[in-house]
Amino acid sequence: MNITDLSAQELASKIKSGQLSSTDAVKAFLDRAEKENPANNGFLTICNKSALIEAANIDSDISSGKSIGILAGVPIAIKDNISTKGIRTTCASKMLENYTPVFDATVVEKLRKEGAVIIGKTNLDEFAMGSTTENSYFGPSKNPLDPSRIPGGSSGGSAVVVAAKTAPAALGSDTGGSIRQPAACCGVVGLKPTYGRVSRYGLVAFASSLDQIGPITNNVTDAALLLQVIAGDDPRDSTSSPEKVPDYLNKLANGVNGLKVGLPKEYFADGLNKEVKNAVMSAASVLEKAGAELIEVSLPLTEYAVAVYYVIATAEATSNLARYDGVKYGFRSKKDNSLSELYANTRSEGFGAEVKRRIMLGNYVLSSGYYDAYYHKAQQVRTLLQQDFSKAFNECDMLICPTIPTPPFLIGEKVDDPLSMYLSDIYTISANLAGIPGLTLPFGKAGGMPVGVQLLGRSFSEEILLRAGLVIEKASI
């Protein structure tokens, strides 16, 4: 038995039954991480000592007959913009290079409650701003399937460690596609839940009305398992929803018979790689053969989504990142002869180029004379985009479309062309603006790399997406 080939659910089952110790499971992934991480840079911090202590405690609880959680002994990786008590949380930035939180994010608390072992913190684009993980202060992550190509971003490190089997599952965050896009690039499963389905408490904020935490796994069942654990209301997050959390795992096998699946015509227009399109249409045919009805729908305002997103996201980023001033915590410039000099030099030295670009854009769209022309207008169009989805979901139960328009490009290929890089998120951004859930899973190949098939649903319809995802997954095995 190769332990690192096991899924999170398989590991949990074998540990609970005594077929495998948590210590052996954790050690196997730590050993693999030690071997693979220097090449792919998926982890920024590997918790060798604490993970083995946690694993030993789980084994002790099992041997003494104590009740254990559904993830007991399973190693889980955490994106490094999610707070972990006593474990460095850097946001892949010089600004927080030495920051160690004194509290766990709600999602980490929930994982620990169910016995999960935090194995390490994963690389990302600095403050989650990027689509390639090339914007990390600690260097880019590399796609395990082809090290010359990007792993996607901003949760690139989380997708890398899952694809490289240095962790069986990971958490990421998704502001404009940052879970789904890297999962698609690395050939794994990524789920962005409905806005409010999962608490954001302890997630370092990028754009507060768009950010959402979700799982990255090697299969749909593990995605359902992790969502089951981390979903739910949280009094510490005023935007979390009291909506009841379904039993995702028990409803996984219900299939798609009788469901209407929409093909949004705007997502299959010019610019979509032919092999990607063929793979998505093949996945749609799988659903049709399983009893779903395929219909064409329209999301006419799709072309405005990227522009709207980069106005709203940068405006919120400007506000959220104002706290990093060299006074309260984080990096502080040594050139501090005056308060204004301290602020300017700390932010100039502490932030990378992409973060500074977005702060400047955000200040511009919020500035006097431009607020109404840009930010206010973007919020109005956002409402219209949400109405587009509402109309589409009056005709169907879910949508199927590509996750990204092309196979992952080469590392360094678009570093000097930020607009081109921003456009790579064209199929994922709208879901964040509308607050709806999105699931990506691999199906077929383009240019020798996996194709991500994306399923989108109305708010709190993760159950339907997971059911459909399982049908597609079974057909691809």
- Of 186, 255, 173, 253, give the one whose Cα is nearest residue 218: 186
Q: Which two tokens stand for residue 146?
A: 């082809």
* Residues with catalytic function: 79, 154, 178
19 Cβ contact partners less than 8 Å away, ≥ 6 residues apart: none
Bridge partners of residue 295, in order along the sequence: 262
pLDDT digits (tens, 9 = 90+) for 108-142: 999 999 999 999 999 999 999 999 999 999 999 99
Domain that holds residue 238: 1-477
What lies within 8 Å, CB to CB, of 74 at 6+ separation is: 8, 11, 12, 15, 22, 25, 115, 116, 117, 168, 169
- Distance between CA atoms of 42 and 344, rounded to whole angstroms? 32
Number of domains in the chain: 1
Is the Cβ–Cβ distance between 26 and 73 less than 8 Å? yes
> What is the full DSSP assignment across 146-201?
-TTB---SSSHHHHHHHHTTSSSEEEEE-SSSTTHHHHHHHT-EEEEPPTTTB--T
Task: Identify the helix (H) or strand (E) that includes residue 411.
Answer: none
* Orientation angle between helical segments 339-350 and 353-366, nearest 10 degrees: 120
Kindly give the confidence (pLDDT) of every residue in the chain, 477 residues in length, as a single tens digit, with 9 standing for 90 and above.
Answer: 899 999 999 999 999 999 999 999 999 999 999 999 999 999 999 999 999 999 999 999 999 999 999 999 999 999 999 999 999 999 999 999 999 999 999 999 999 999 999 999 999 999 999 999 999 999 999 999 999 999 999 999 999 999 999 999 999 999 999 999 999 999 999 999 999 999 999 999 999 999 999 999 999 999 999 999 999 999 999 999 999 999 999 999 999 999 999 999 999 988 899 999 999 999 999 999 999 999 999 999 999 999 999 999 999 999 999 999 999 889 999 988 899 999 999 999 999 999 999 999 999 999 988 899 999 999 999 999 999 999 999 999 999 999 999 999 999 998 777 767 777 789 999 999 999 999 999 999 999 999 999 999 999 999 999 999 999 999 987
Which residues, in sequence order, are CB contacts of 208 under 8 Å at separation 6+?
200, 239, 316, 320
Q: Taking the C-alpha atoms of 143, 477, 213 and 457 in order, what is their torsion angle to the nearest 10 degrees?
A: 130
Quick one: tokens of 334? 């040594």
The domain spanning residue 469 has which CATH number?
Answer: 3.90.1300.10
Rounded to 10 degrees, the C-alpha dihedral 24/163/474/405 comes to 170
